[in-house]
Amino acid sequence: MSIPQTVPTAGRTRARANGWAKSILRFLVIIVTTYLGLLAVTFFIGRVIPIDPVLAVLGDRAPAHVVERTRELMGFNKPLYVQFFIYVQDALTGNFGTSVLTTNPVMADIRRVFPATLELATLGTIIGSLFGVPLGVLAAVKRGSIADQIVRVVGLVGYSVPIFWLALLSLLFFYAKLRWVAYPGRIDIVYEYSFTPVTGLYLLDSFWQGQWDVFRDVFRHIILPAGLLGYFSLAYISRMTRSFMLNELGQEYIVAARAKGLSETRIIWGHALRNAAVPLVTVIALSYAGLLEGSVLTETVFAWPGLGLYITNSLQNADMNAVLGGTIVIGSVFIAINILSDLLYRTLDPRTRAR
**What ranges do the domains of the chain cover?**
2-92, 106-353
Q: How confident is the model at residue 277 (pLDDT cuts 50, 70, 90)?
A: confident
Q: Where are the alpha helices (DSSP H) in the chain?
A: 2-48, 53-58, 64-73, 80-92, 106-141, 146-160, 163-170, 189-192, 202-208, 212-249, 252-259, 264-265, 273-294, 296-301, 307-316, 320-348, 350-353
Q: What is the mean pLDDT of residues 49-77?
A: 73
* Least confident among 39-43, 183-187, 315-319: 315-319
DSSP per position, 139-163: HHHTTTSHHHHHHHHHHHHHHHS-H
**pLDDT recorded at residue 349:** 64
Residue scoring higher pLDDT (45 or 298): 298
Q: Tell me the chain's radius of gyration from C-alpha atoms.
A: 26
* 208 alpha-carbon distance from chain centroid: 25
The alpha carbon of 97 is separated from its chain's Cα centroid by a whole number of angstroms, namely: 24
pLDDT in tens, 87-129: 888 888 888 888 878 888 999 999 999 999 999 999 999 999 9
Please name which of 24, 83, 46, 195 lies closest in space to residue 16, comparing C-alpha atoms: 24
Rounded to 5°, the CA angle 245-251-254 comes to 85
Question: Would you state the pLDDT for residue 2?
Answer: 46
Residue 278 has phi, psi (to 5 degrees) of: -65, -60
**Distance between CA atoms of 272 and 136, rounded to whole angstroms?**
12
For residue 77, the tally of other CB atoms under 10 A from its CB is 11
pLDDT of residue 275: 87
331 vs 325: CA distance, rounded Å? 10
Question: What are 98's strand-pairing partners?
Answer: 105
Residue 91 has what pLDDT?
85
* pLDDT of 234: 93
Handedness of CA 200, 203, 208, 210 (dihedral sign): positive
Instruction: Note the pLDDT of residue 278.
Output: 82
Q: In angstroms, rounded to a whole number, what is the distance separating the alpha carbons of residues 87 and 53?
A: 14
Share of the chain above pLDDT 90, in %: 27
Instruction: Name every residue whose Cβ is closer than 8 Å to that of residue 76 and which is 6 or more positions away in sequence.
Output: 53, 54, 83
The whole-angstrom separation of Cα 340 and Cα 331 is: 14
pLDDT digits (tens, 9 = 90+) for 6-62: 446 666 677 667 767 776 787 788 778 888 888 888 888 777 776 667 766 676 677
Q: For the range 65-74, what are the long-range contacts, defined as Cβ-Cβ under 8 Å and sequence gap of 24 or more?
A: none
The predicted pLDDT at position 132 comes to 93
The confidence score (pLDDT) of residue 293 equals: 73
Q: How far apart are CA 126 and CA 230, in angstroms?
A: 7
Please check whether residue 158 is in contact with residue 229, taking contact to mean a CB–CB distance below 8 angstroms: no
Q: For the chain, give the number of residues.
A: 355
State the CATH class of domain 106-353: mainly alpha
Residue 331: closest CA among 37, 107, 122: 37
For residues 145-173, average pLDDT: 89
* Distance set, CA 109 to CA 101, 162, 197 (Å): 11, 29, 16
Between helix 212-249 and helix 273-294 the angle, nearest 10°, is: 130
Task: Supply the pLDDT for residue 216.
Answer: 94
Q: Read off the pTM.
A: 0.83
DSSP state of 221: H
Per the CB < 8 A criterion, the answer to whether 163 and 308 are in contact is no
Q: Report, as an integer, the average pLDDT of 199-207.
A: 92
Nearest in space to 311 (alpha carbons), one of 164, 119, 96, 126? 96
Averaged pLDDT for residues 143-157: 90
pLDDT digits 0-9 by tens, 237-257: 999 999 999 998 888 888 888
Looking at residue 35, its pLDDT comes to: 82
